[in-house]
Structure 1
Amino acid sequence: MYQKYIKRTFDFILSLLGIIVLSPTLLVICIAIKIDSKGPIVFKQKRVGKDKVYFNIYKFRTMKSDTPKEMPTHLLKDPNLFITRVGKFLRKTSLDELPQLFNILKGDMAVIGPRPALWNQDDLIAEREKYGANDIQPGLTGLAQISGRDELEIPIKAQLDGKYTRNIGFKMDVKCFIGTVLSIIKSDGVVEGDTGKKKKADDK
């Protein structure tokens, strides 16, 4: 019942409140991006949603317009060459993810869930399939994000997404939400141009 009805209600209310309360911040970020570099303010990218249905995720643009669009940041030879000045701050603080509040409002995403994979991240999608993690709504943040984020190898990320899938509930969502706030404050797990430094995960 929580996953089917209550979770979506919470997601809608939280995303709507977030958009209203953060509207001044959103406006300031929009202006800063426009002043800092050429290109659109919001970046759209095809991602994998619930049941592997594609949708366009929204992000504040943090990279230059000539950056390869469909390539994960960690696969770029030198990501720092593409990241803008404002983008570095937005990525470090995770403020670039704020436009996803509109994805949540629309129903493309949830507040808590596995981070939506790029449409061409076949390795991550295949690993998640083993744990049923492709069958639920992707999230703004999730268990993997509070457990290492960019430092985790793909199989471990998928295991953590599977653990979340098996244990969806109010308690788990609160744990992930609080953990996310603490991770943002400490900038835990943000590794530009690298991934997979942590080798083990507790999948009890």
Structure 2
Amino acid sequence: MGRNIFVKLSKVLFACFDLLIVNIGILLAFRVKFGHNIPEYNWNSYESVWLGLSLVSLVVFYMFDLYSNWRRKSIYNLIYAIVLSVGTLSLFTMALTFWYRGFSFPRSVIVLSFLIQVVLFISIRSLVWWAAKRKYGRRRVLIIDEKREQAFLFAKKFLQHTTGWFVIHDVLEAERWKKMIHTIHEVDVVLLSPMLSREERAEILSYCSRYGKEVLLVPELFELFILDAEPQQIDDMLVLSVQPPGLSAAQLFLKRLFDIVASLALITLLSPAMLILFILVPATSRGPAIFKQERMGRNGKEYMIYKFRSMVQDAEKYTGPMLAVEKDSRITPLGHFIRATRLDEIPQLFNVLKGDMSLVGPRPERAFFIEQFSEMLPDYTYRMSVKPGITGMAQVMARYSTTAEDKLRFDLMYVRNYSLALDIKILLQTIRVVFQWGQSKGVQHSEEACHDEVLNQLGNYEAAAGRDTITREK
């Protein structure tokens, strides 16, 4: 409980500092523009709206996820979020000067306040991030899995994570953890694979907690269903009420209303880009501008999805259905750009208007792949309890090359925690993803580079400990 109170208190303190920075930025902009002779009309205008503008800034910063725990996240993501959130606040301020005649800010003051606020926010938040990294970085990680080779897949995740937060100390097979129990005392963090039995996880978790070690659990899919479970009492027995996945009638209505209004606004805003791409796509490669393909929607209903064509015409004529891979030769030069910037997804706004899709939801998939994934992951079809989305939690939090199982975890998390505020947050964070082209890369062909790096780290630790050095399998 004490830890939760500390986390909430830190968020309140961040919010207070943010309000201070927003208003300091505006005041400094006035001073830079007018010196000590600020026009009374402009100053009175600021005094009349500063409180409302401050409250709007908190909402904007919350929607861009600035009040989540940024420890162990990328500094670049933080900077993107700051620039976009302050930019959105500046656009709101500019719109206010246009629609509310009693409010008058010179455009130069708005631009100056944007620049000052961005510098202040990035400086302070980066300093906090750096201090946290100094204190909590380079955590030594032990990975425990049923099989040693399977543990390398988890080790790869740590290597691909933001540099400096984790160092791979060792990997252990579950059957050996008691014999190598001293290893737990050498590390800071223990990751437990979902492949471990419930008894093994409970025993290791209990031991780690006793000695103050952080434990990272990769949840089994069914465990995600109890995240929002309601505690109830039946006689003297405590139970958790787990409702089936899906949205209530009120949530469906609100989500549909938001989809219609927002998609109409986006179509109007993006119509120039659509017109340009409608000309450029067929002009740069043979074939039509729009690509249509059958997908499966809510409850398995099939529909035709619309996208700007990013691959050569008839890309799967000789191969059959297959996912895009890194450096895929089927993708056109223009296709690389529109896939990276998500511009190829714009025509799906018309799918949203038709009711086949939602703005936010699980990624739309073909029946061919759904059948394959469902065989491996029996819970896969639960993601179809809501409409597929142009963007979604998995699209924002993961990469194109992320495994189906890991994406499913994000999809189920979304379904279980749906709210209109969550939809807006995901939409705004999608803007950040558009500028991070790396997340759109296809499935990688080779894991060899990461495998070698894991072996190198483990080899260094084993040599230092006097154990046998791992040799790479030929």
TM-score by length of 1: 0.87
1:54 pairs, out of 302, 315, 318, with 302
Structure 1 CA distance for aligned equivalents of residues 391 and 444 of structure 2: 19
Residue aligned with 1:21, SS: helix
Number of residue-to-residue matches in the alignment: 195
Deviates more, 1:25-34 or 1:173-182: 173-182
After superposition, the Cα gap between the structure-2 partners of 1:54 and 1:38, relative to the gap in structure 1 and judged at 3 Å, is: same
TM-score by length of 2: 0.39
2:385 pairs, out of 122, 135, 148, with 135
2:330 pairs, out of 82, 89, 112, with 82
After superposition, the Cα gap between the structure-2 partners of 1:128 and 1:140, relative to the gap in structure 1 and judged at 3 Å, is: farther
2:417 pairs, out of 167, 183, 192, with 167
Please say if residues 401 and 443 of structure 2, whose CA atoms lie closer than 8 Å, have aligned partners that are also in contact.
no
Structure 1 CA distance for aligned equivalents of residues 417 and 374 of structure 2: 20
How far residue 146 of structure 1 moved from its aligned partner, in angstroms, is 1.0
Please say if residues 92 and 187 of structure 1, whose CA atoms lie closer than 8 Å, have aligned partners that are also in contact.
yes
Please say if residues 128 and 161 of structure 1, whose CA atoms lie closer than 8 Å, have aligned partners that are also in contact.
no
Counterpart position of 2:373: 124
Higher helix share: 2
Deviates more, 1:61-70 or 1:38-47: 61-70
Task: Name the % identity.
Answer: 35
Structure 1's consecutive aligned runs of 4 or more residues displaced over 4 angstroms after TM superposition are none
1:144 pairs, out of 383, 394, 404, with 394
Write out aligned runs for 1:1-204 (5 A). Answer: 1-68=249-316, 71-74=321-324, 80-121=328-369, 122-125=371-374, 127=377, 129-130=379-380, 132-194=382-444
Structure 2 CA distance for aligned equivalents of residues 79 and 43 of structure 1: 21
How far residue 66 of structure 1 moved from its aligned partner, in angstroms, is 3.1
Please say if residues 360 and 391 of structure 2, whose CA atoms lie closer than 8 Å, have aligned partners that are also in contact.
yes
Structure 2 CA distance for aligned equivalents of residues 79 and 59 of structure 1: 20
How far residue 80 of structure 1 moved from its aligned partner, in angstroms, is 2.7
Structure 2 CA distance for aligned equivalents of residues 50 and 166 of structure 1: 16
Residue aligned with 2:414, SS: helix
After superposition, the Cα gap between the structure-2 partners of 1:125 and 1:169, relative to the gap in structure 1 and judged at 3 Å, is: farther
After superposition, the Cα gap between the structure-2 partners of 1:73 and 1:132, relative to the gap in structure 1 and judged at 3 Å, is: closer
The amino acid that maps onto 2:373 is L
**Structure 2 runs not aligned, ≥5 long:** 1-248, 448-474
Please say if residues 259 and 359 of structure 2, whose CA atoms lie closer than 8 Å, have aligned partners that are also in contact.
yes
Structure 1 CA distance for aligned equivalents of residues 396 and 270 of structure 2: 23
Deviates more, 1:55-64 or 1:149-158: 149-158
How far residue 59 of structure 1 moved from its aligned partner, in angstroms, is 0.6
Root mean square deviation, CA, Å: 2.2
Larger-Rg structure:
2
The amino acid that maps onto 1:39 is G
Counterpart position of 1:200: none
After superposition, the Cα gap between the structure-2 partners of 1:135 and 1:128, relative to the gap in structure 1 and judged at 3 Å, is: farther
How far residue 193 of structure 1 moved from its aligned partner, in angstroms, is 4.0
